[in-house]
Chain A
Amino acid sequence: MTFRKYLVLAGVTLFAAVGDSLLSHGMKQVGSVSLENWHSLLFAILNPSVALGIVLLLGFFVCYTTALSWADLTYVLPATSLGYVFLALFAKFFLHEHISATRWIGILLISAGVGFVTQGPALTHPHDTEDANERIPESVGARSER
């Protein structure tokens, strides 16, 4: 794992957390959408929070697919779950919400899970590619050992 790859994983975490919150914030301003006024969904992207949320979620998708190109799914998912923790801490320090004891335990469990998985190798299986000339398997194997 290089520093660059950790940056990509941080991108997955942050883009997903901030993007989802912006979407949820924006959609509360837009108001509830039902089958009768479904076309109000088309105008929802004019809301600044919704628009920015969509841009961030596109960033998430780029980082997520990049991470999956060199790491296992069972590595990427737990490794990027700190977003839930960020959201809870954000709610505490900026929105001054109360965090209950069970929530603190939840935060601890997620952090422990992230700690566990990032101690191990990112890639466990040497995946054969259809286009052998598109990658150098040795370098991927060597990097995952670190």
Chain B
Amino acid sequence: MKQLYTWGAIMAVVLASTTGDVLLARAMKQVGDVGELRRRAGVLAVAASMLRRPSFLLGVLAMAGAFYSLLFALSWADVSLVGPASASLTFVANAVAAKIFLHERVDKRRWTAALFVAAGVALLAV
């Protein structure tokens, strides 16, 4: 039963942080190249352009949610399991979500990279 709770918490962290990453990525693609915009219109224009995207604000909210569900999970499960498991699964979940929701071309090279990094992060914790 305790294991079920632990993995439930890990899935909550993965879901929230993936949602946050995808929403932020979508918002920043709408804003466009920040460096160019800053050179042309200044730093305030960049901030204004980011803050008026609903997906940016929702993304930050989702990231805060991920942070709090991580804290919550850590309060009754081992750090050595929750930390690496959620970080490692987030790499894979992000690759899937970026393909579906952001229509990024996740080719063989990117799949390999995501899986290698996920496996590596998991091994670092062993």
Q: Which residues of A contact B (CB under 8 A)?
A: 4, 64-66, 68-70, 72-78, 81, 84, 88, 100, 102-103, 105-114, 116-117, 119-120, 124-125, 127, 129-131, 134-136, 139-140
Contact = CB atoms under 8 A, between A and B. Distances in A.
Given A4-B35, A65-B24, A135-B32, A77 B114 contact: yes
Interface in B103-119: 103-107, 109-110, 112-117, 119
Q: How large is the interface on B (under 10, 10 to 19, 20 to 34, 35 or more residues)?
A: 35 or more
A102 B126 contact: yes
Interface string B48-66: 0110000000000000000
Contact of A103 (B110, B115, B124): B124
Contacts of B123: 102-103, 105-106, 109
Contacts, number: 145
Q: Is the interface of A mostly helix, strand, loop or mixed?
A: helix
The DSSP consensus for interface residues of chain B is helix
A23 to B, nearest CB: 11
Interface of B: 21-22, 24-25, 28-37, 49-50, 91, 94-95, 98-99, 102-107, 109-110, 112-117, 119-124, 126
